[in-house]
Amino acid sequence: MRIDRKNMIENLDVYAYLYYALYESFRTKFFLLSAEQFTHKIESEHNLDNTAWMSNIRKEFNILSSLKSMESREMDVAKTCSPYTEIYRDGIVLSSNIPGLRSSYNATLLSTFSTRDCFIVGENPGTDSLLDLVRILLDHKCCTLICTNPFSEVHPLKSKDWIFVSTDTNTCTTFHYQMEVDSVQQMSSRVIMSVLRLKSSATSDWHEVIVYEMTTWETTGMLPPDVNALLDVIKLVQLREGTDPEGRIVLISKDGAKGCGLFCAVYNAIQQLQQDGEVDLFTIVRLLQSRRPEMISDLKEYVVCYQTVTEFIKSRPAQKVDNQKNTTQACKVEYSNTEM
């Protein structure tokens, strides 16, 4: 490499990273499947008997768990050598510096399949942390807010309005903002969409945020009652992302891990299917756990990821699926001709 370009791999950190990348590739298995292979795997194994199907899924999940435990030990060792804030810098989302208020939000930045650090993932705010959520929406120019639980389940007073506290100016000693709700629309039996407008006293411009409320996933439930609730929101968020690709997406759940991990895993799997025609759910979950280990920490969640992605593949228009199959076959023929 240095014969062609002398300044390649010119420091120890980059050289050590090559070894680390090889180490990761050797200890991690790959489960990349086409859409057709993915559904065939789930359906054929499930038709045999539920025990055999769960056994194969459990093997994958156990590998994930073993990798996560190894990383935890590595993190414990690193803590003795580095400051805590350096180790967990990815888990802190910074806000504007306002005297008297904290300058960080306890959340995690996660990437989608196509966009780096697109998601800001945190727990449902209480009455004492609602202000921090508003600041995140404004400071990071977030275009979408997804609440995986009904507003009435989140607010301590069981209010249906939750985040829509008031249309008047909300204040603290050093921070002032205005909040308005333009419209509220029932998108499906499982999702309500609201258009929220925010403005801080530091600017005259209003900032628009689309809020999606999942009305059927209660805070007491680890899993959604219906996988279609996840698919409904994902389709809406993808449409929103198409109109504002630069805007970040804030995702909140009871603990910032359970519902958020499931949503992000399925979202990234669908993006990978749409762009590459293949999906590797194992690697997707592994990357999420490297940022937040509590995500997809239960076998049931991992199974629901498989079921939801399978449901998405089945729900796609038949003509579109056929076109993809024909394209794949054409590519194989072209490759064979090239070999010959």
| Domains along the chain with CATH numbers | 32-325 (3.90.190.10)
Orientation of helix 35-48 relative to helix 318-339, angle to 10° = 110
Q: Which residue has the higher pLDDT, 204 or 31?
A: 204
| Best mean pLDDT range from 16-20, 123-127, 288-292 | 288-292
pLDDT attached to residue 337: 32
* pLDDT greater than 70 at residue 172: no
Residues above pLDDT 70, as percent of the chain: 67
State whether the Cα torsion 303-232-109-8 is positive or negative.
Answer: positive
Measured CA to CA, the distance from residue 283 to residue 71 in angstroms comes to 15
Mean pLDDT of 113-129: 84
* pLDDT greater than 70 at residue 195: yes
Q: Which residue has the tokens 């600041």?
A: 135
Q: Which residue has the higher pLDDT, 205 or 335?
A: 205
pLDDT attached to residue 100: 63
Measured CA to CA, the distance from residue 78 to residue 119 in angstroms comes to 26
* pLDDT greater than 90 at residue 330: no
The answer to whether 8 touches 1, Cβ cutoff 8 Å, is yes
The answer to whether 118 touches 140, Cβ cutoff 8 Å, is no
What is the DSSP secondary-structure string of 28-49? -----EEHHHHHHHHHHHHHH-
The pTM (predicted TM-score) of the whole model is: 0.75
Backbone angles phi, psi at 220, to 5 degrees: -80, -15
Mean pLDDT of 238-249: 87
pLDDT attached to residue 186: 92
Q: CA dihedral in degrees (84, 110, 261, 45; nearest 10)?
A: -120
Q: Which residue has the higher pLDDT, 177 or 122?
A: 122
Q: Please, what is the Cα angle at 130 between 125 and 134, to 5 degrees? A: 120
Instruction: Select from 278, 301, 304, 287 the least CA-distant residue to 111.
Output: 287
Measured CA to CA, the distance from residue 94 to residue 88 in angstroms comes to 13
SS3 category, 279: strand
Q: What is the mean pLDDT of the chain?
A: 76
Chain-centroid distance, C-alpha 93: 15
* pLDDT greater than 50 at residue 198: yes
Residues above pLDDT 90, as percent of the chain: 26
CB atoms within 10 A of CB 76: 10
Strands, DSSP E only, in the chain? 33-34, 92-94, 104-110, 119-123, 142-147, 169-171, 176-186, 191-200, 207-214, 248-253, 278-279
Distances in whole angstroms, Cα of residue 125 to Cα of each of 118, 207, 242:
20, 20, 28
Residues shown for the chain:
340
What are the tens digits of pLDDT across the range 65-120? 887 765 554 444 344 443 333 333 445 666 666 766 666 677 889 999 888 889 99
Distances in whole angstroms, Cα of residue 45 to Cα of each of 33, 49, 139:
15, 7, 48
Among 3-17, 229-243, 255-269, name the one with the lowest average pLDDT: 3-17
CB atoms within 10 A of CB 112: 19
Q: Which residues contact 30 (CB under 8 A, 6 or more apart)?
A: 280, 282, 283
Instruction: Select from 86, 178, 95, 180 the least CA-distant residue to 129.
Output: 95
* pLDDT greater than 80 at residue 139: yes
Q: Is 253 exposed, middle or buried (0-12, 13-18, 19+ CB in 10 A)?
A: buried
SS3 category, 18: helix
Measured CA to CA, the distance from residue 132 to residue 337 in angstroms comes to 60
CB atoms within 10 A of CB 181: 14
Q: Which residue has the higher pLDDT, 340 or 184?
A: 184
